[in-house]
Structure formats: C-alpha cells, structure tokens
Amino acid sequence: AQSVTQPDIHITVSEGASLELRCNYSYGATPYLFWYVQSPGQGLQLLLKYFSGDTLVQGIKGFEAEFKRSQSSFNLRKPSVHWSDAAEYFCAVVIFTGGGNKLTFGTGTQLKVEL
C-alpha cells in the first residue's frame, strides 16, 4: 500500500542551525510528493512539491527538498532555521484512485526551535 513515513516525531534545533526532516515513501509508480507546514490550531500550508524534473525542489520560506528514488526519500532541508519555523511538518503523497485523488500524510514531525 502507498504510504509515507516520517521517522522523527520531535526535532529540536537551535536558531540559525541547519535542519533536515526525513520522509520515506512507499509507492509503486513515480510519486508526487509534498511538504506541508501546520502552525498550532491552523490549517496546512504547502511548502513545496515534487512531481517531475529536477530532483531538488525549492519552496517557500527558504525550504528545499531532494527527491531520491534510490532511497525512496524526500527529505526537507533549510540551511538556517528561524524561531518562526517552529511548527509541525507533514510529508504527503498524492494517490490517484479511479476518478479522484487523495493525499496520504505521514504522522508529522514537530519542530522546536531553541533561541
């Protein structure tokens, strides 16, 4: 079954430090992958997406992610974290089901930023 795994439930980094959030997928065909961010009590905001072409994709707020087919991974990175980046991050894959589509999400990674 198609799925997404985020191995890290919580991550703490110092402001200014680099960040990498891990995401592994299980999908038979070429996956369409997304990273979303969710601030407390809020909806989901799309950070970036991959659906073809260059395996290194740039997103908003200085985030980037690299698609590695050989490792079934789509890790999110940021060179220097800001305190405002503290939030929950979700990796997702879109599943096409005869006539429709749906997003399948990982369980999320809670990011804490220490000042």
Partner 1 sequence: DAGVTQSPTHLIKTRGQHVTLRCSPISGHKSVSWYQQVLGQGPQFIFQYYEKEERGRGNFPDRFSARQFPNYSSELNVNALLLGDSALYLCASSLEVTARYSVNTEAFFGQGTRLTVV
| Residues lying near partner 1 in the complex (CB under 8 A) | 32, 36, 41-46, 49, 51, 90, 92, 94, 96-97, 99-108
Answer yes or no: are the C-beta atoms of 76 and 62 closer than 8 Å: no
Other CB atoms within a 10 A radius of the CB of residue 81 amount to 19
Burial of 65 (0-12, 13-18, 19+ CB in 10 A): buried
Nearer to partner 1, 36 or 74 (CB): 36
Q: Which two tokens stand for residue 24?
A: 């592994």
- Residue 41 beta carbon to partner 1: minimum distance, rounded to whole angstroms: 7
Nearer to partner 1, 5 or 72 (CB): 5
Nearer to partner 1, 63 or 90 (CB): 90
